[in-house]
Structure 1
């Protein structure tokens, strides 16, 4: 199991839309997340900075393949058509990232 964390901004004026979308995430998306071996997935919002922090546990054996499966899924592409306009990536993210991945520096069970 691997814990992961990521951060992204929310586009100006899109906080309420992002919240609205995530009150009722489509069942197909929730199923896809599970089929891609992601568990305990949580997104936090920090206002007034409008930063989203996501954290989850990856329980698979091939993260890149699972993420490719997620990206290729037509329902997920439809979901992203609604969520991506709400997001504002950090300028400091690495090339190829949308959400900026974070290094875990402490954990306590």
Structure 2
């Protein structure tokens, strides 16, 4: 299992819309996440920073993320959520959600 933590900026004027969207994530989007071996996925908000965490239980995260990106339901979902977000300054070129370094883990 691989733990993944990421961060992105939430546009403050879109905060209420973003919260509302996540009150009812479409089942096909959730199903695609599960079929891509993603579990325990959560998103947290502090100020204008969104922090996401999930556990990956597959063998090839890049391949599963590519499958997710090809999924029509996921593409529609991203069209709704993308206007609410913008990459943080620490994101690498082309990176939307910036990956975070794990510096501590207690199991």
TM-score interval, smaller chain: over 0.9
Give the TM-score normalised by the residue count of structure 2.
0.97
**Which digits, 9 at most, give the CA deviation of each residue in 1:2-32, with x for residues without a partner?**
0010000011300000000001100000000
Q: Which runs of 4+ in 1 moved over 6 A?
A: none
2:98 equivalent among 84, 100, 103: 100
**Residue aligning to 1:14:** 14
Distance 1:86 1:56 in 2: 20
**Residue aligning to 2:64:** 66
**Which digits, 9 at most, give the CA deviation of each residue in 1:73-106, with x for residues without a partner?**
0111100010000001112201221011001111
SS at match of 1:14: helix
In the comparison of the two structures, how many residue pairs are matched? 107
Structure 2 residue 52 is matched with structure 1 residue 54:
yes
Distance 2:94 2:54 in 1: 20
Distance 1:99 1:20 in 2: 20
Q: Can you give the 5+ residue segments of structure 2 that lack an aligned partner in the other structure? A: none
The alignment's C-alpha RMSD in Å is: 0.8
Distance 1:95 1:62 in 2: 22
Q: Can you give the 5+ residue segments of structure 1 that lack an aligned partner in the other structure? A: none
SS at match of 1:13: helix
Give the TM-score normalised by the residue count of structure 1.
0.95
